[in-house]
Structure 1
Amino acid sequence: MIGRRRFLGAAAGSLALAACEAPSAVSHIEGGFTGVDVERGHALRDGSLAGKAPDETRRTRVLIAGGGVAGLAAARALRLGGVEDFVLFELEDEPGGNSRGTAVQGLPCPMGAHYLPVPGDDAPEVQDLLEELGLRRRVAGRWEYDERHLCHSPQERLFFQGEWQEGLLPVQGVPARSFEQYRRFDERVDALRRRERFTIPMARSTPGPEQLALDAQTFDAWLTAQGLDDPHLRWYLDYCCRDDYGAGSGEVSAWAGIHYFASRHGFHAPGHAADDSEEREAVLTWPEGNGWLSRKLATPLGPERLQAGQVVTRIAQTRAGVELDAFDVRQRKLVRWQAERCIVALPVFVAGRVVQSPPEFLRRTAAALRHAPWLVANVHLSAPLADRPGAAPSWDNVLYGTRGLGYVDAGHQRLDPTPRETVISWYRPLGPSRHDAGIDGRRLLLDRAWTFWRDELLAELSVAHPDLPRLATRMQLTRYGHAMAIPSPGLLAQLDGGQKGVREGRLAFAHADWSGYSIFEEAFSRGHWAGAAVAGLRPEA
């Protein structure tokens, strides 16, 4: 019998050898990098725009630096508060940050984040947004979500031991010891949820002593101390950490590893009854992923208030208010903007560079935070993939033991079941993990040609889909050098529990980095709080 490791290695080696001996096997696949202009960010890093005199000066009431989810949420909150005189500055050509969408051969697909879990009552700001967009409404005294936007079944499956199984936790052919450890981890998470409050957004609760103790150690160390060493359980938990945080379970804190489950629907071992409703386990998704939400947030702003292609080089508080210098990459000129206040919705490490005389808490946090690089590859297929035995094709399709996190089918939400062309989105985290030990993922992203990633993708997914190279026609790859903050041990204490309002004088800071990890709910809530505060509204407690 051939082992899993030998099976994966043989398949990858065979495909690589075939590509080497017969380049025509993949030469028909067009592709390249898209979505992120690395030169813009590097111009700020290298200081090539530093000290440049402004070509003109303009004025507005409020400035928003950063057009990711936090910046867009801040703009919405300003408008809700009656403030229309503001300008938002976005580095790339479209706003949304990690929550942007794109299209390949005319088919919409995500450029980053691809779903939003149905939010709980700790995230009323996100709930209000979904109600505003018509995604949820009250019927007969209870909230209902528009089923067209909920992920259709089947939702997820795992390629394990040569066939597909439902769900992502390995269950088929695993020993009784694995199930026993699944149950024990279930009990540990449930006990922690009963003793401590884990919330999304995290600022809605204050970490207790047990959470701070979890924060002081790695997730791997905590699991080992609990006697949880089953390889299938450890693979699954490592996968979850890489999926949400971009780094492995040996790099993130035990608090982060537990929070992944305890703040949402818990962890449910096979055979144990779930104590959460089906609604809480549901996710909202769209062919273009969370790009659907970002575009809904950006559309009301218009080109005057949404300034894309802007490199923010300086933010300074003055006696009269705030100044912001932004280099317009199209017009090749530097504009100095003056305003009463500024919402800094930039990643913390960028804010630390551009804010003049940065406050101590900003310097300290910028020095403490690490960010995980990511690659997202969207692959156009001329026809549906042939399938291996087992569970039916799903929205999320994961292969056991691989470097990548599997792929999402962007066409899964179509109501017409007729087989046709589609796009699959492959996610490859490059933060520190056992899969990439000793590798500088950021440098690898920058130095390798797109064909390097094409070959890794094809080798990995062809184990389950041997016809993938033949059906693929085009790949569009997006590189994120600093995709998301890594919740390393000690970070929760460093962030003072992720305090709700981060302000300094006329500056309000809003970004998921201030929570220590990157998800839509954290970014949106922090942007909303900052915008509401600047507009004079009183955010919900």
Structure 2
Amino acid sequence: MKRRAFLGAVASTAVLAGCAPEHRIDGGFTGIDVARGHALRDGRLQPDRAPDVMRSTRVVIAGGGIAGLAAARALRLAGIDDFVLLELEDTAGGNSRGGAVNGIACPLGAHYLPVPGEDAHEVQDLLEELGLRRRVAGRWEYDERHLCHSPQERLYFRGEWQDGLLPVQGVGEATLAQYRQFSQRVQALRHEARFAIPTLRAPGAPLLLSLDALSFQAWLDREGFTDEHLRWYLDYCCRDDYGAGMAHVSAWAGLHYFASRHGFHAPGDDNAERDAVLTWPEGNAWLMRRLADPLGERLKTGHAVTRIAETRGGVEIDAFDAATRSRIRWRAERCIVALPVFIASRVVENPPGALTRAGSLIRHSPWLVANIHVREPLADRPGAAPSWDNVLYGTRGLGYVDARHQSLDPTPRATVLSWYRPLGPSAFDGDDGRRQLLDRPWTGWRDELVAELSVAHPDLPALATRIDITRYGHAMAIPSPGLLRQIGAPERVRAGRLAFAHADWSGYSIFEEAFTRGHLAA
């Protein structure tokens, strides 16, 4: 039996056998009000009832994820303060929310931001504003306190930890040769076409559209990349970035992961440049809070937008206030629709064709994030030292990040480990990931993650004290084959007095895409 299959079987067998911890571990579901979102979906928020309150403002921003927060910042920078931002959940931030377990800050979703390239100049401006980036002697430098500390990442492979996530420990020459060949192929493609983040800075060239037309797995088959270790790594990258396996994302998306940044580097490449990333104990919530805090009363959380309609003199936006159980109608000059496309296409009256098309085409991957409080550091297997990002080869989960990795205090103490589990279609999960996410009890997820991580950390069941789990039913858009051609990844999407802003319009979900589209919409 291959190592990948063996590890998966071990974890599955342990869970099915009732591999519950020997002592009580507190916890439960937290972070997202699933019932509130489903009430909006099912029309149970009284959309046909007359409004209880009428209010007016110049601009309404519908949706408080990173796109909506970026739009609010851009309005403020332009001197426009007469606006409100309406957010469904009790905190803004979308996938960039953060929390704490037993007083230790941790991410509830996205946990890092790669140092942005020149195409993402809106994001660069934000980082400069926040003091994370400054020019020194004519060169841009980033505050090292916020860059990921070393060691950055490691892989549990063949019974021990190794540096980096590409399997190298004891692999054969044929595997290393395929690593080199793939690196050369990525580099050649970077010269043939422009890959950019955000994608709207790279027009749909014929080569990109041809890569978009087939799956990444089919492209690897065609190109002769058959090595199991290379394919495991590439599939892991797809599940990490897009929430779905390489058979379900386009070749454009699979290659974009590498070609839009620093390429793919085979072992022994002396010119390899590891991507620098910015990270914080609470993940991207550090950025989210600095975008949300200046809004004050203009940020209305717990407000579910149920209707957006253009009128002869402006826009009407109806929202259900979960705290007061009242329906509020906002009248505005304009509305920035920073909602996922599947929601926007339902609440916008007479939606434009581009929105209807995108809403019908884009599929979203469910995700689960579990934050595990351990009362002391875990014992370690041989090999590379504990890192920020710790991945186990061949498992369903994507590994874990350590919330205390950025701490300057070396004293061993309690920490929180954030474990990520994508549930989009892949070799591990079928098309019922969302149902599995919603139907499986908290204890089932607890047992799966404990069994999986115990392969590398047998003392985890004894040291874990609490596990808080956050569920995202529609966490991120999946860049499936043909999506780039069909939605076009336009620079701006407008219709009358409405401007649309969300990472969905790029076909996949990362901070740079959401932030840029929110900024441009404003």
**1:296-307 counterparts in 2 under 5 A?**
296-302=290-296, 304-307=297-300
Query: How many Å apart are 1:445 and its aligned residue?
Result: 1.1
Query: How many Å apart are 1:195 and its aligned residue?
Result: 1.0
Q: Summarize deviations over 1:325-354 as a string: whole Å, max 9, x none.
A: 000000000000000000000000000000
TM-score (norm 1): 0.94
Query: How many Å apart are 1:17 and its aligned residue?
Result: 3.6
1:364 maps to which of 346, 349, 357: 357
1:161 aligns with 2:161: no
1:3–1:68 Cα change, 3 Å = closer
Moved more, 267-276 or 249-258: 267-276
Secondary structure class of the residue paired with 2:428: helix
Distance 2:75 2:107 in 1: 27
CA contact (8 A) 2:376 2:414 kept: yes
Secondary structure class of the residue paired with 1:200: coil
Secondary structure class of the residue paired with 1:316: strand
Q: Specify the alignment match of 1:461 in structure 2.
A: 453
Q: Summarize deviations over 1:453-488 as a string: whole Å, max 9, x none.
A: 000000100000000010000011000000000000
Query: How many Å apart are 1:205 and its aligned residue?
Result: 1.5
Q: Specify the alignment match of 2:373 in structure 1.
A: 380
Secondary structure class of the residue paired with 2:79: coil
Distance 2:11 2:425 in 1: 25
Q: Summarize deviations over 1:495-539 as a string: whole Å, max 9, x none.
A: 22x1111100100000000000000000000001111xxxxxxxx
2:311 maps to which of 294, 312, 318: 318
Distance 1:467 1:267 in 2: 35
Query: How many Å apart are 1:6 and its aligned residue?
Result: 3.4
1:113 aligns with 2:81: no
Q: Summarize deviations over 1:209-263 as a string: whole Å, max 9, x none.
A: 1110000000000000000010000000000000000000000000000100000
User: Root-mean-square deviation (CA), in Å?
Assistant: 1.4
Q: Specify the alignment match of 1:309 in structure 2.
A: 302
1:495–1:105 Cα change, 3 Å = same
1:287 aligns with 2:284: no
Distance 1:137 1:96 in 2: 26
Query: How many Å apart are 1:16 and its aligned residue?
Result: 5.5
Q: Specify the alignment match of 1:406 in structure 2.
A: 399
Q: Summarize deviations over 1:165-192 as a string: whole Å, max 9, x none.
A: 0000000111111111111111111011
Q: Which runs of 5+ in 2 are unaligned?
A: none
Q: Specify the alignment match of 2:91 in structure 1.
A: 94
Q: Specify the alignment match of 1:32 in structure 2.
A: 28
2:325 maps to which of 332, 346, 350: 332
Q: Specify the alignment match of 1:535 in structure 2.
A: none
CA contact (8 A) 1:12 1:463 kept: no
1:178–1:411 Cα change, 3 Å = same
1:515 aligns with 2:511: no
1:462–1:83 Cα change, 3 Å = same
Structure 1 segments of 4 or more deviating over 4 A? 1-4
Secondary structure class of the residue paired with 1:434: coil
**1:34-433 counterparts in 2 under 5 A?**
34-49=30-45, 50-274=47-271, 276=273, 281-302=275-296, 304-433=297-426
1:223–1:2 Cα change, 3 Å = closer
CA contact (8 A) 1:197 1:207 kept: no
Secondary structure class of the residue paired with 1:415: coil
Q: Specify the alignment match of 2:477 in structure 1.
A: 485
Query: How many Å apart are 1:272 and its aligned residue?
Result: 2.2
Q: Number of paired residues?
A: 521
Q: Summarize deviations over 1:427-460 as a string: whole Å, max 9, x none.
A: 00000001113x5111111111111100000010
Q: Summarize deviations over 1:37-96 as a string: whole Å, max 9, x none.
A: 011111111112231211111000000000000000000000000000000000000000
Q: Specify the alignment match of 1:6 in structure 2.
A: 6
CA contact (8 A) 1:16 1:459 kept: no
The letter for the 2-side match of 1:33 is F
CA contact (8 A) 2:8 2:396 kept: no
The letter for the 2-side match of 1:28 is R
Q: Which runs of 5+ in 1 are unaligned?
A: 532-541
Q: Percent identity?
A: 70
Secondary structure class of the residue paired with 1:378: strand
CA contact (8 A) 1:8 1:463 kept: no
CA contact (8 A) 2:499 2:521 kept: yes
Distance 2:9 2:91 in 1: 40
1:3–1:62 Cα change, 3 Å = closer
Q: Summarize deviations over 1:119-154 as a string: whole Å, max 9, x none.
A: 010011000000000001111110110000000000
CA contact (8 A) 2:108 2:470 kept: yes
CA contact (8 A) 1:122 1:199 kept: yes
Query: How many Å apart are 1:4 and its aligned residue?
Result: 5.7
Distance 2:154 2:397 in 1: 15
Distance 1:29 1:455 in 2: 11
Distance 1:222 1:173 in 2: 27
1:470 aligns with 2:467: no
The letter for the 2-side match of 1:524 is F
Distance 2:249 2:95 in 1: 20
Query: How many Å apart are 1:275 and its aligned residue?
Result: 6.0
CA contact (8 A) 1:430 1:436 kept: yes
Query: How many Å apart are 1:3 and its aligned residue?
Result: 5.2
Q: Specify the alignment match of 2:490 in structure 1.
A: 499
Query: How many Å apart are 1:382 and its aligned residue?
Result: 0.3
Secondary structure class of the residue paired with 2:376: coil
Secondary structure class of the residue paired with 1:436: coil
Secondary structure class of the residue paired with 1:349: helix
Distance 1:397 1:353 in 2: 40
Distance 2:134 2:43 in 1: 49
TM-score (norm 2): 0.98
